[in-house]
Chains A and B, each alone.
Chain A
Amino acid sequence: GEDVEQSLFLSVREGDSSVINCTYTDSSSTYLYWYKQEPGAGLQLLTYIFSNMDMKQDQRLTVLLNKKDKHLSLRIADTQTGDSAIYFCAETPFTGGYQKVTFGTGTKLQVIP
């Protein structure tokens, strides 16, 4: 079945850039997402990218997609302590009426003041 892999933990200093990486196996992935989960809360959609795009930028967030290598990354510029959370990568093929999303294991980002 589909598989989405992420590293478990990342620690950066406040003001530095963070790069969270994700690899996936499903070649039919059409939509790829990044979600943020703060402690005790649900998921918050940060951004998404279509598989026909290489890059998407949204304020401090930059998503890079290497479709050939099935590699997705999320770069957070000028990382702040409020960015400390777990970040989930997710993918889904477009199947019309039924959309099953496969999530990665999540990367815990720790921002050191």
Chain B
Amino acid sequence: GAVVSQHPSWVICKSGTSVKIECRSLDFQATTMFWYRQFPKQSLMLMATSNEGSKATYEQGVEKDKFLINHASLTLSTLTVTSAHPEDSSFYICSARDPRSTDTQYFGPGTRLTVL
């Protein structure tokens, strides 16, 4: 299947700092990527849909200024958590839609963010 990578795997930062997470589709071009957040022992929550070359579409309740998304190329989307606070600590997972494969989404390995 298609491969999606995320970097970093795990990040620990101080409260008030910003953290950037990268999501890359390694062997296909993804015009659409998705960002999810997973709380402990819970399911995934879609945060936003990232479209290459245009503004991201955010789900209701997700702060656009807090979670900045940039999809600058067909293989890269970034999520920046600005002025992070402990409540932002979570597992962030991206996925990319593979247009070659019945639009199936392939998921990255996730990034664990811990804000002290």
Which A residues have a C-beta under 8 Å from some C-beta of B? 31, 33, 35, 40-45, 48, 88, 94, 97-101, 103-106
Contact = CB atoms under 8 A, between A and B. Distances in A.
Interface of B: 1, 6, 32, 34, 42-44, 46, 49, 57, 93, 95, 97, 102-110, 112
Nearest to B44: A103
Contacts of B112: 40
A104 B107 CA distance: 16
Contact of A100 (B1, B43, B46): B46
Contacts of A100: 46, 49
Contacts of A44: 107
Q: Which 4 A-B pairs have the closest CB atoms?
A: A42-B110, A43-B107, A42-B109, A105-B43
B93 A42 contact: yes
B43 A43 contact: no
